[in-house]
A and B are shown apart, each in its own frame.
Chain A
Amino acid sequence: MARSKEPIWWSMFSAGGVIAAFLIPATLLITGFAPLAGYITAEQLHDLIDRSWLVKIYLFILIALPLFHWAHRFRFTVADLGLRGGAALQAILFYGAAIVGTICAAVILIRA
Protein backbone atom coordinates (compact mmCIF):
# COMPACT_ATOMS: atom_id res chain seq x y z
CA MET A 1 0.00 0.00 0.00
CA ALA A 2 1.24 3.46 -0.82
CA ARG A 3 1.12 6.56 1.30
CA SER A 4 -1.68 8.72 0.01
CA LYS A 5 -1.43 12.21 -1.47
CA GLU A 6 -4.53 13.08 0.54
CA PRO A 7 -2.52 15.38 2.88
CA ILE A 8 -2.47 18.00 0.09
CA TRP A 9 -6.25 18.24 0.10
CA TRP A 10 -6.76 17.50 3.77
CA SER A 11 -4.46 20.33 4.83
CA MET A 12 -6.34 22.76 2.56
CA PHE A 13 -9.64 21.40 3.89
CA SER A 14 -8.48 21.93 7.46
CA ALA A 15 -7.11 25.40 6.84
CA GLY A 16 -10.37 26.33 5.09
CA GLY A 17 -12.37 24.85 7.95
CA VAL A 18 -10.53 26.95 10.51
CA ILE A 19 -10.85 30.13 8.42
CA ALA A 20 -14.54 29.47 7.79
CA ALA A 21 -15.24 28.72 11.45
CA PHE A 22 -13.57 31.86 12.73
CA LEU A 23 -14.37 34.41 10.04
CA ILE A 24 -17.46 33.54 8.01
CA PRO A 25 -20.17 34.12 10.66
CA ALA A 26 -19.07 37.73 11.34
CA THR A 27 -18.40 38.46 7.67
CA LEU A 28 -21.79 37.04 6.80
CA LEU A 29 -23.36 39.50 9.22
CA ILE A 30 -21.47 42.37 7.56
CA THR A 31 -22.37 41.48 3.97
CA GLY A 32 -25.84 40.15 4.58
CA PHE A 33 -27.51 41.76 7.50
CA ALA A 34 -25.77 45.10 8.03
CA PRO A 35 -26.91 46.45 4.63
CA LEU A 36 -30.42 45.18 5.31
CA ALA A 37 -30.61 46.86 8.70
CA GLY A 38 -29.21 50.07 7.24
CA TYR A 39 -25.90 49.98 9.14
CA ILE A 40 -23.86 49.81 5.93
CA THR A 41 -24.83 50.88 2.45
CA ALA A 42 -23.70 48.91 -0.57
CA GLU A 43 -21.67 51.95 -1.56
CA GLN A 44 -19.78 52.04 1.72
CA LEU A 45 -19.01 48.33 1.50
CA HIS A 46 -17.86 48.77 -2.07
CA ASP A 47 -15.48 51.60 -1.11
CA LEU A 48 -14.20 49.61 1.85
CA ILE A 49 -13.11 46.77 -0.47
CA ASP A 50 -12.00 49.05 -3.28
CA ARG A 51 -9.65 51.18 -1.17
CA SER A 52 -7.88 48.73 1.07
CA TRP A 53 -5.33 46.09 0.13
CA LEU A 54 -5.76 44.50 3.51
CA VAL A 55 -9.46 43.96 2.85
CA LYS A 56 -8.62 42.46 -0.55
CA ILE A 57 -6.15 40.02 0.95
CA TYR A 58 -8.70 39.15 3.62
CA LEU A 59 -11.32 38.44 0.96
CA PHE A 60 -8.88 36.38 -1.10
CA ILE A 61 -8.19 34.13 1.89
CA LEU A 62 -11.91 33.96 2.64
CA ILE A 63 -12.65 32.86 -0.92
CA ALA A 64 -9.77 30.48 -1.66
CA LEU A 65 -9.51 28.36 1.49
CA PRO A 66 -13.25 27.84 2.04
CA LEU A 67 -13.53 26.73 -1.61
CA PHE A 68 -11.00 23.98 -0.95
CA HIS A 69 -12.78 23.16 2.29
CA TRP A 70 -15.99 22.74 0.30
CA ALA A 71 -14.35 20.70 -2.48
CA HIS A 72 -12.86 18.16 -0.08
CA ARG A 73 -15.82 17.77 2.23
CA PHE A 74 -18.31 17.73 -0.62
CA ARG A 75 -16.36 14.94 -2.33
CA PHE A 76 -16.84 12.74 0.74
CA THR A 77 -20.43 13.88 1.30
CA VAL A 78 -21.42 12.88 -2.23
CA ALA A 79 -19.87 9.46 -1.65
CA ASP A 80 -21.63 9.14 1.71
CA LEU A 81 -24.94 9.95 0.04
CA GLY A 82 -24.35 6.90 -2.14
CA LEU A 83 -23.05 8.45 -5.38
CA ARG A 84 -19.85 6.43 -5.58
CA GLY A 85 -19.49 6.21 -9.35
CA GLY A 86 -16.87 8.28 -11.16
CA ALA A 87 -14.92 9.15 -8.04
CA ALA A 88 -11.91 10.36 -10.04
CA LEU A 89 -14.08 12.58 -12.22
CA GLN A 90 -15.81 13.99 -9.14
CA ALA A 91 -12.45 14.79 -7.55
CA ILE A 92 -11.27 16.58 -10.70
CA LEU A 93 -14.55 18.50 -10.86
CA PHE A 94 -14.62 19.62 -7.22
CA TYR A 95 -10.95 20.39 -6.69
CA GLY A 96 -10.83 21.87 -10.20
CA ALA A 97 -13.67 24.25 -9.31
CA ALA A 98 -11.80 25.32 -6.17
CA ILE A 99 -8.60 25.92 -8.16
CA VAL A 100 -10.44 27.91 -10.85
CA GLY A 101 -12.25 29.94 -8.19
CA THR A 102 -8.98 30.70 -6.45
CA ILE A 103 -7.32 31.84 -9.68
CA CYS A 104 -10.33 34.01 -10.56
CA ALA A 105 -10.26 35.60 -7.10
CA ALA A 106 -6.53 36.32 -7.38
CA VAL A 107 -6.84 37.86 -10.87
CA ILE A 108 -9.87 39.94 -9.98
CA LEU A 109 -8.41 41.25 -6.73
CA ILE A 110 -5.01 42.06 -8.23
CA ARG A 111 -6.62 43.94 -11.12
CA ALA A 112 -9.19 45.76 -9.01
Chain B
Amino acid sequence: MPRHQPATPAKQHIRPMPVGWWLKRTSYFLFMMRELTCVFVGGYALFLLMLVARIGEPDAFAALLEHPGSLVFHVLALPFVLYHTITWFNVTPKALVIYRGEEKVNPVIIAGANYVGWIVVSVALIWIAWIAIGSA
Protein backbone atom coordinates (compact mmCIF):
# COMPACT_ATOMS: atom_id res chain seq x y z
CA MET B 1 0.00 0.00 0.00
CA PRO B 2 1.67 3.22 -1.09
CA ARG B 3 2.25 5.68 1.70
CA HIS B 4 2.01 8.47 -0.82
CA GLN B 5 -1.57 9.78 -0.91
CA PRO B 6 -2.33 11.11 -4.36
CA ALA B 7 -4.38 14.27 -4.50
CA THR B 8 -6.18 13.27 -7.66
CA PRO B 9 -7.69 16.34 -9.26
CA ALA B 10 -11.38 16.40 -10.06
CA LYS B 11 -10.68 16.71 -13.76
CA GLN B 12 -7.78 15.62 -15.84
CA HIS B 13 -7.30 15.25 -19.55
CA ILE B 14 -6.29 11.84 -20.90
CA ARG B 15 -4.75 11.79 -24.34
CA PRO B 16 -5.55 8.50 -26.03
CA MET B 17 -2.80 6.52 -27.74
CA PRO B 18 -3.23 7.18 -31.47
CA VAL B 19 -3.83 4.00 -33.52
CA GLY B 20 -1.10 4.90 -35.99
CA TRP B 21 1.38 5.79 -33.24
CA TRP B 22 4.17 3.80 -34.89
CA LEU B 23 3.91 5.89 -38.05
CA LYS B 24 4.53 9.12 -36.14
CA ARG B 25 8.21 8.72 -35.43
CA THR B 26 10.99 7.10 -37.45
CA SER B 27 12.31 5.17 -34.46
CA TYR B 28 8.82 3.81 -33.73
CA PHE B 29 8.45 2.80 -37.38
CA LEU B 30 11.79 0.98 -37.34
CA PHE B 31 10.73 -0.72 -34.12
CA MET B 32 7.56 -1.96 -35.80
CA MET B 33 9.54 -3.21 -38.79
CA ARG B 34 11.83 -5.06 -36.38
CA GLU B 35 8.84 -6.66 -34.70
CA LEU B 36 7.31 -7.59 -38.06
CA THR B 37 10.45 -9.50 -39.05
CA CYS B 38 8.93 -12.27 -36.91
CA VAL B 39 6.32 -12.86 -39.62
CA PHE B 40 9.10 -13.82 -42.03
CA VAL B 41 11.08 -15.75 -39.42
CA GLY B 42 7.95 -17.77 -38.57
CA GLY B 43 6.98 -17.90 -42.24
CA TYR B 44 10.31 -19.43 -43.13
CA ALA B 45 9.93 -22.03 -40.36
CA LEU B 46 6.54 -22.86 -41.89
CA PHE B 47 8.11 -23.13 -45.35
CA LEU B 48 10.74 -25.56 -44.00
CA LEU B 49 7.97 -27.55 -42.30
CA MET B 50 6.09 -27.79 -45.60
CA LEU B 51 9.31 -28.82 -47.30
CA VAL B 52 10.19 -31.63 -44.86
CA ALA B 53 6.56 -32.80 -44.99
CA ARG B 54 7.25 -33.62 -48.65
CA ILE B 55 10.39 -35.67 -47.98
CA GLY B 56 8.53 -38.86 -48.88
CA GLU B 57 7.47 -37.43 -52.25
CA PRO B 58 10.48 -36.05 -54.15
CA ASP B 59 8.29 -34.63 -56.92
CA ALA B 60 6.13 -32.64 -54.53
CA PHE B 61 9.33 -31.54 -52.73
CA ALA B 62 10.76 -30.19 -55.98
CA ALA B 63 7.45 -28.62 -56.96
CA LEU B 64 7.31 -26.61 -53.70
CA LEU B 65 10.94 -25.54 -53.96
CA GLU B 66 10.55 -24.42 -57.56
CA HIS B 67 7.11 -22.84 -57.14
CA PRO B 68 7.12 -19.15 -58.09
CA GLY B 69 5.37 -18.37 -54.80
CA SER B 70 8.26 -19.85 -52.88
CA LEU B 71 10.72 -17.69 -54.81
CA VAL B 72 8.65 -14.58 -54.14
CA PHE B 73 8.58 -15.46 -50.45
CA HIS B 74 12.36 -15.90 -50.32
CA VAL B 75 12.97 -12.58 -52.04
CA LEU B 76 10.58 -10.80 -49.67
CA ALA B 77 11.91 -12.60 -46.60
CA LEU B 78 15.61 -11.96 -47.17
CA PRO B 79 15.67 -8.25 -46.23
CA PHE B 80 13.46 -8.93 -43.20
CA VAL B 81 15.55 -11.82 -41.86
CA LEU B 82 18.70 -9.76 -42.40
CA TYR B 83 17.05 -6.91 -40.50
CA HIS B 84 16.23 -9.36 -37.74
CA THR B 85 19.87 -10.47 -37.59
CA ILE B 86 21.21 -6.92 -37.50
CA THR B 87 18.75 -5.64 -34.90
CA TRP B 88 19.18 -8.77 -32.78
CA PHE B 89 22.96 -8.44 -32.67
CA ASN B 90 22.80 -4.71 -32.07
CA VAL B 91 20.65 -5.03 -28.95
CA THR B 92 22.41 -8.12 -27.57
CA PRO B 93 24.88 -6.00 -25.56
CA LYS B 94 21.94 -4.42 -23.71
CA ALA B 95 20.85 -7.76 -22.25
CA LEU B 96 24.35 -9.20 -22.02
CA VAL B 97 26.38 -6.75 -19.95
CA ILE B 98 29.85 -7.96 -19.05
CA TYR B 99 32.17 -6.28 -16.60
CA ARG B 100 35.90 -6.66 -16.53
CA GLY B 101 36.63 -5.21 -13.11
CA GLU B 102 35.33 -1.64 -13.15
CA GLU B 103 35.18 -1.47 -16.91
CA LYS B 104 32.12 -2.42 -18.87
CA VAL B 105 33.13 -4.47 -21.90
CA ASN B 106 32.48 -2.22 -24.91
CA PRO B 107 29.07 -3.09 -26.45
CA VAL B 108 30.66 -2.82 -29.89
CA ILE B 109 32.93 -5.77 -29.01
CA ILE B 110 29.97 -7.91 -27.89
CA ALA B 111 27.91 -7.07 -30.96
CA GLY B 112 31.02 -7.43 -33.14
CA ALA B 113 31.68 -10.93 -31.80
CA ASN B 114 28.13 -11.85 -32.84
CA TYR B 115 28.69 -10.50 -36.35
CA VAL B 116 31.97 -12.37 -36.73
CA GLY B 117 30.35 -15.58 -35.46
CA TRP B 118 27.44 -15.06 -37.84
CA ILE B 119 29.70 -14.70 -40.87
CA VAL B 120 31.73 -17.78 -39.87
CA VAL B 121 28.59 -19.87 -39.32
CA SER B 122 27.00 -18.68 -42.57
CA VAL B 123 30.09 -19.45 -44.66
CA ALA B 124 30.43 -22.83 -42.93
CA LEU B 125 26.78 -23.71 -43.61
CA ILE B 126 27.03 -22.90 -47.29
CA TRP B 127 30.38 -24.68 -47.54
CA ILE B 128 29.02 -27.82 -45.80
CA ALA B 129 25.99 -27.87 -48.10
CA TRP B 130 28.35 -27.53 -51.06
CA ILE B 131 30.63 -30.38 -49.91
CA ALA B 132 27.73 -32.66 -48.96
CA ILE B 133 26.12 -32.22 -52.34
CA GLY B 134 29.40 -32.72 -54.16
CA SER B 135 30.03 -36.02 -52.35
CA ALA B 136 26.49 -37.27 -52.77
Query: Which A residues contact B (CB, under 8 angstroms)?
Result: 16-18, 20-36, 39-40, 42-52, 56, 59, 62-64, 66-67, 69-71, 73-74, 76-77, 80-82, 101, 104-105, 108-109, 112
User: Is B88's CB under 8 angstroms from A18's CB?
Assistant: yes
**Given A51-B136, A69-B41, does the pair A43, B121 have CB atoms closer than 8 Å?**
no
For B129, what are the chain A residues with a Cβ–Cβ distance below 8 Å? 30, 34, 40, 48
Pick from A18, A29, A43, A67: contact of B45, CB below 8 A: A67
For B48, what are the chain A residues with a Cβ–Cβ distance below 8 Å? 27, 31, 59, 62-63
Interface size on B, residues (CB 8 A): 52
User: Is A101's CB under 8 angstroms from B82's CB?
Assistant: no
For B114, what are the chain A residues with a Cβ–Cβ distance below 8 Å? 21
Query: Which B residues contact A (CB, under 8 angstroms)?
Result: 19, 22, 32, 35-36, 38-39, 41-49, 51-53, 55-56, 58, 61-62, 65-66, 70-71, 73-75, 77-78, 81-82, 84-85, 88-89, 114, 117-118, 121-123, 125-126, 129-130, 132-133, 136
**Given A21-B85, A21-B118, does the pair A33, B74 have CB atoms closer than 8 Å?**
yes
User: Is B126's CB under 8 angstroms from A30's CB?
Assistant: yes
Q: How many A-B residue pairs have CB under 8 A?
A: 155
Query: Looking across the interface, which residue of chain B has its beta carbon closest to that of A97?
Result: B42
**Given A28-B81, A74-B42, does the pair A59, B62 have CB atoms closer than 8 Å?**
no
**Given A42-B62, A74-B38, A77-B36, does the pair A24, B133 have CB atoms closer than 8 Å?**
no
User: Is B71's CB under 8 angstroms from A21's CB?
Assistant: no
**Given A77-B32, A77-B38, A112-B56, does the pair A70, B125 have CB atoms closer than 8 Å?**
no
